[in-house]
Amino acid sequence: MLLLLIVVGVALAFDFTNGFHDTANAVAPTIATGALKPRTAVAMCSVLNLVGAFLSIKVAATIASALVAQNLVTLPVIFAGLIGAICWNVTTWYFAIPSSSSHALIGGVIGAMLVMAGGHSVLWSGLVSKVIIPAGLAPFVALVAAAVAVVAARRLTSRVDASTSTMGFRIGQIGSSSLLSLAHGTNDAQKTMGVVTLALIANGSLSANASTPVWVIVACAVAIALGTFFGGWRIIRTMGKGFHHLTPQQGFAAQIASSAVILTSSHMGLPLSTTHVATGSIVGVGAATTNHPVHWRLVGNVALAWVITLPAAGLAGAVAYFFAHLIGGTFGVIVLALVAAAYLALIFRLSRRHVVNSINVNDAIDGIGEAVAPKTPVAV
Amino acid sequence: MAATSSSPAPFIDWSLLGHVVVYSVVIGVGLVVAFSFGLAALSLARGTGRSALVRVTGSIVSVVMVAAIASALVWGLMLIVKK
């Protein structure tokens, strides 16, 4: 029972980091264009993430049943996978890289499963068809949708006076940002719901292929909303200011395109990375317009981080499982939890050297390296 | 998802992926086009020196576009909730 409680607690901690890490996906363009004040945008996003988490559990079912052999999953495996995902999420947050929380989670669990039971424990067809192919496809679909949308918007509003256009698209951005926040809650909260459901099945508290209990839905919704409320300002800054200068028209088109991709994939039960989609859309609207060039070097760095997220989180999950198993039992899990907590404390302490928050989130940046050193110093 | 199916599921469900791609692009572009069209109509309605007919038409078109977008969003969300 203690082990189950620890695993559920760590899962909710992961959900918190997921919200924290992915706030940028929904609000970065809204904040960058000044459509909403940073704190207001983040608070709104948090509430809508909470609501979105209750809308559907189809992705949760995919996570729980389509990626690993349920009958082989044990609580230490899930724990190790979550530890790997949390460590990767927090590390990428420190470096202000918008990487995928979903892939970190899936990678972590698969890495631990491979060490525990070998290759046959992973449902490779599910991994390829539900994760890897959509991961490769999603940013390009979002990029194309956003690029076509922004070109159409520009042509249709070419005779609209600048003030009406700016005001109209800023109001539109509030709506599109709300929709995207809802979409994020619908898609991402479910991933942790899937993992907690797996843990309950592994513990024998639920039968195989059981549906997600209501208390799991509520707990995951609250955890992701809380994480979102604290706002991952570093990543918001990268997405809002790093790729190119966003106008309200571009921000609106990017957010609507992202929402369409995420909600459609949620509807079809595909656990898409909202980060990949949101980044693809932002890059798409920049590539389709010539007034402000896209910083392709940063795009390349972020794409590289996407490629290594699955194996890196997998490696972290595998190492975590190896040591937890080596020490043995619940005690091994507790020791690993303490080691992970120490690592998180170290990263948090390092992050205080260059604070990014609601005050300096709109400072211009050139790339990932500079993303941790804003030009407006903030008192710690 | 595939394990309980009576017929073996394809390794990669291209049909599902194709649906996601087509629906995403159509819905994403469609909503932005509708909003932009409404904004252009609103601009016509608010412009100085326009005839009354243009102003009324512009206002009606902009309201219709907003209503169409809202209806599309509500319909989409209802589809997701039903699942």
Report pLDDT for A204. 87
Cα A137-B9-B11 angle, rounded to 5 deg: 45
Give the integer Cα–Cα distance in Å for A140 and A212: 32
Give the integer Cα–Cα distance in Å for A221 and A353: 32
Report pLDDT for A70. 76
| CA A158 to chain centroid | 35
Give the integer Cα–Cα distance in Å for B69 and B33: 10
- Domain extent for A208: 2-372
Determine contact: A67 vs chain B, CB below 8 A: no
Domain edges within chain B:
30-82
Report pLDDT for B1. 40
CA dist list (Å): A138 to A100, A130, A260, A265, A362:
12, 12, 11, 9, 27
Cβ contact A257–B3 (<8 Å):
no
Give the integer Cα–Cα distance in Å for B25 and A199: 36
| Three-state SS at A68 | strand
CA dist list (Å): A214 to A11, A210, A218, A220, A303:
16, 12, 6, 10, 36
For residue A34, give both structure tokens.
Answer: 């000044």
Report pLDDT for A368. 54
Chain A: give the shortest CA distance to residue B79, in Å.
8
Determine contact: B34 vs chain A, CB below 8 A: no
Q: Is residue A327 part of a domain?
A: yes
Confirm if A251 and A173 have CB atoms less than 8 A apart: yes
* Domain total of chain A: 1
Q: Using the 8-state DSSP alphabet, how is residue A353 labeled?
A: T
A-chain CB neighbours of B80 within 8 Å are 55-56, 186, 263, 266-267
| Three-state SS at A157 | coil
Q: Is residue A150 part of a domain?
A: yes
Determine contact: B66 vs chain A, CB below 8 A: no
Report pLDDT for A292. 76
Supply the pTM of this predicted model: 0.86
Give the integer Cα–Cα distance in Å for A357 and A378: 8
Determine contact: B78 vs chain A, CB below 8 A: no
Q: Which residue ranges of chain B lie beneath pLDDT 50?
A: 1-5
Report pLDDT for A164. 87
Confirm if A134 and B17 have CB atoms less than 8 A apart: yes
| Three-state SS at A361 | coil
CA dist list (Å): B9 to A125, A267, A285, B13, B15:
10, 19, 37, 8, 11
Give the integer Cα–Cα distance in Å for A171 and A155: 19
B-chain CB neighbours of A55 within 8 Å are 77, 80-81
Determine contact: A146 vs chain B, CB below 8 A: yes
Q: Using the 8-state DSSP alphabet, how is residue A310 labeled?
A: H
Confirm if A378 and A357 have CB atoms less than 8 A apart: yes
Q: Is residue A377 part of a domain?
A: no
HSE (side-chain half, CA atoms, 13 Å) at A378: 18
List per-block mean pLDDT (blocks of 10 residues) for chain A, which spans 380 residues. Answer: 91 93 91 93 93 73 69 88 93 92 89 90 83 85 94 92 90 90 82 86 83 91 93 89 90 93 80 87 90 87 92 94 90 93 94 88 67 52
B-chain CB neighbours of A71 within 8 Å are none
Give the integer Cα–Cα distance in Å for A315 and A328: 19
Q: Which of residues 109-138 of A touch B (CB under 8 A)?
A: 125-126, 128-130, 133-134, 137
Torsion of CA A329, A331, A337, A341, to 10 degrees: -170
For residue A238, give both structure tokens.
Answer: 């990268």
Determine contact: A171 vs chain B, CB below 8 A: no
Report pLDDT for A376. 59
For residue A201, give both structure tokens.
Answer: 């099945």
Give the integer Cα–Cα distance in Å for B83 and B81: 5
**Helices marked H in chain A — which ranges?**
2-32, 38-52, 58-65, 75-94, 101-117, 124-127, 133-156, 162-202, 214-230, 233-237, 248-268, 274-287, 296-327, 329-351, 368-371
Q: Is residue A190 part of a domain?
A: yes
- A245 CB burial (10 A radius; 0-12, 13-18, 19+): middle
User: Which chain A residue's Cα is nearest to B82?
Assistant: A56
Q: Is residue A257 part of a domain?
A: yes
Q: Is residue A379 part of a domain?
A: no
Give pLDDT tens digits for A128-175.
877 888 888 889 999 999 999 999 999 999 888 888 899 999 999 998
